[in-house]
Structure 1
Amino acid sequence: MTSDITGELTGQLAALLAAAFWAVATVLYHRAGSHFSPLQMNLVKGVVATPLLLIMSLLLGNSLELSSSLWLLALSGIIGITIGDSCHFAALRRLGPWHAMLLEYLAPPIAAFMAWAFLSDGLSTIEITGAVITLSGVLWVVTEKAPDKQPALSLSGIFFGCGAALCQATGLVMAFAVLKQSSVNAIDAAFVRLAAGSFLLAIIVGLSKRGAYNAIIKQVRSINPLPLLGAIVFGTFLAIWLQQISIANINPGLTQTLLSTAPLFLIPISLLKKQRITSRSITGALIALGGISILFL
């Protein structure tokens, strides 16, 4: 009994810590975003984080076996990481950390609807209610009239944020289908997805213009790389590690709900930076979080 309680507590704390790490990483990514395009930022993240995931998998004694399911994982990585994360960085650049992260609240209900449509995972009335509440909370924030002397929210930023949520939800459902029907380890699945997404990014960036890689290296050398490295380690490497610890100890639905508290960790960070967050934004975030809780619990 004691071990069960300890396991549950470990899973809950791991998920909350992962959410906090992702909030910190989002701020750091935003800080570095002015120096890189969304595609460049995404590629740098993949180049650093992919070897870290491979090392983590090897240390855990995992052995990745070639199978047909890996192709679906790779495709999910292309959709969720190549496209989805690039859209997220584009939204982050246009909207800032708070609104860009808040739009990620759309991913869980989208994933639930896609699981219902493609995996025959039926939605109950309560789950539909949770999805509607989540959407209402997000809309409550993004439709807020900008205060005086502050620019209105970028429509292109909202578009990219919604695109990121859609791609991340699609990649999540595809990866879930593979993990459910095969013996692929969750850490190995994360490695395959990130490696595939980063490989395609490398091709796209390389073909975009001559000397693209040298330009990125030159840019990295011209800035303080610690914030960007910190964002990658906290937001991509450690957050994924903690996510797996959480899923191993508690219900995945509870894990997703706790991970969705990430925007709330931005509140004290923003206050420390003396940035203004309106009461409407905070209320909308809490409403959206409540909807996710209903959806998954």
Structure 2
Amino acid sequence: MEQTIGQLMAVVTALCWAQNSLIYAHVGAQVSSNTTAHIRLWIALPLMLLVHLAFEGTIIPLGMDMRAWILIGLSGALGFCVADLFIFSSFVHIGARQTMVIMTTSPLLSALLARIFGGEILTGIQITGVVVTLVGVAWVIHADRSSGVSGNRRHMVKGVAIALGGSVTQAIAYVLADAGMTEAIPAVSANVVRLVFGLLALIVFATARKSFLKDFARFSGKAGHKALLLIIAAAIVGPVLGIILNLQALKLAPVGVVTTLSQLTPVMLLPLERFAMKRHIPPMATVGTFVAVFGSVLLFI
């Protein structure tokens, strides 16, 4: 019974990420993707600090050595700043569904980086998963391009390139986080450190662009207030509810099963985009999505 509950929690986690991607795509198109990536961490970090207090008894992580802070912090700067700037921009260019399908390449890139730098061995099934994922991603891109869903070719190529940049950067961030993690460091503590460094990196980025105050000003007025409410909802559902559900799922069900079910976000986006967003999805793009997700699942067997 506990394992079933854990599996259901993992599925709901994937649904949380699907909701997040749709909201960020919508708000990013209104106020800019860079602004959305920046402001949502100002909301997510205080919430995660409260989550850390509830789970660990302290506001901030204690007892982590300097090496862990540096590696996990770098992971946060890359993941929550650089990777998310790519991903949020891709949401605006090619939409949430295509972006999340391309992001299924991130686990395989992480596996390849671990193989190159960590000496980890890829099994035959995992190598098959790499190939299948790449085939599925290419399949989706070709199907959407052929049907005209993605707009002109130049716009699509730019969006795909940006999404791949996000996938590569996120893969590097995962490898750094894994290198800094030990059994003594709770996942929620690592996430707090990643959020802190991610927000600091975004502050530097926004200041360098001279858009720090402008990012906050974009949420003034009636339309701005609605966009802000959507970001708040996404911050609660994603970094807070999603993380809590994921942590509880890992306690109740096998890691491989939880990780696999958490990869279902692109599949969940199919009905959400079709019925909630009223967007046309080519049948072959649906098939390609399932192929890409299946390939990603093979990496965890």
Structure 1 residues 114, 148: closer, same or farther in 2, change over 3 A? closer
Report the counterpart of residue 3 of structure 1 in structure 2.
none
Q: In structure 1, what is the Cα distance between the partners aligned to 2:149 and 2:71?
A: 47
Partners of 1:39 and 1:201 within 8 A in 2: no
Query: Is 1:55 equivalent to 2:59 in the alignment?
Result: no
Structure 1 residues 214, 288: closer, same or farther in 2, change over 3 A? same
Report the counterpart of residue 152 of structure 2 in structure 1.
152
Matches within 5 A, 1:261-276: 261-272=264-275, 273-276=277-280
Query: Is 1:113 equivalent to 2:112 in the alignment?
Result: yes
Report the counterpart of residue 82 of structure 1 in structure 2.
81
Query: Is 1:168 equivalent to 2:173 in the alignment?
Result: no
Q: Deviation digits for residues 136-162 of structure 1, max 9, x if unmatched?
A: 100111123332586135211111111
Deviates more, 1:193-202 or 1:229-238: 229-238
Partners of 1:26 and 1:235 within 8 A in 2: no
Deviates more, 1:41-50 or 1:115-124: 115-124
Q: Deviation digits for residues 168-221 of structure 1, max 9, x if unmatched?
A: 111112212222x35211101001011101111111102212xx3332222112
Report the counterpart of residue 134 of structure 1 in structure 2.
133
Q: In structure 1, what is the Cα distance between the partners aligned to 2:120 and 2:27?
A: 40
Report the counterpart of residue 238 of structure 1 in structure 2.
241
Q: In structure 1, what is the Cα distance between the partners aligned to 2:52 and 2:180?
A: 18
Q: For residue 63 of structure 2, give the secondary structure of its aligned residue in structure 1.
A: coil
Q: Deviation digits for residues 1-22 of structure 1, max 9, x if unmatched?
A: xxxxx23112211110011111
Partners of 2:72 and 2:176 within 8 A in 1: yes
What letter is aligned with 2:12? L
What letter is aligned with 1:35? Q
Matches within 5 A, 1:36-75: 36-60=31-55, 61-62=57-58, 63-68=61-66, 69-75=68-74
Report the counterpart of residue 290 of structure 1 in structure 2.
294
Q: In structure 2, what is the Cα distance between the partners aligned to 1:199 and 1:86?
A: 14
TM-score by length of 1: 0.92
What letter is aligned with 2:124? T
Partners of 1:35 and 1:219 within 8 A in 2: no
Q: Deviation digits for residues 14-34 of structure 1, max 9, x if unmatched?
A: 110011111111111111112
Partners of 2:80 and 2:195 within 8 A in 1: yes
Report the counterpart of residue 221 of structure 1 in structure 2.
220
What letter is aligned with 2:138? L
Instruction: After the TM superposition, list the runs of 4 or more consecutive aligned residues in structure 1 that deviate by more than 6 angstroms.
Output: none
Unaligned segments of structure 1, at least 5 residues: 1-5
Q: For residue 260 of structure 2, give the secondary structure of its aligned residue in structure 1.
A: helix
Superposition deviation, residue 36 in structure 1: 2.8
Unaligned segments of structure 2, at least 5 residues: none
Partners of 1:76 and 1:175 within 8 A in 2: yes
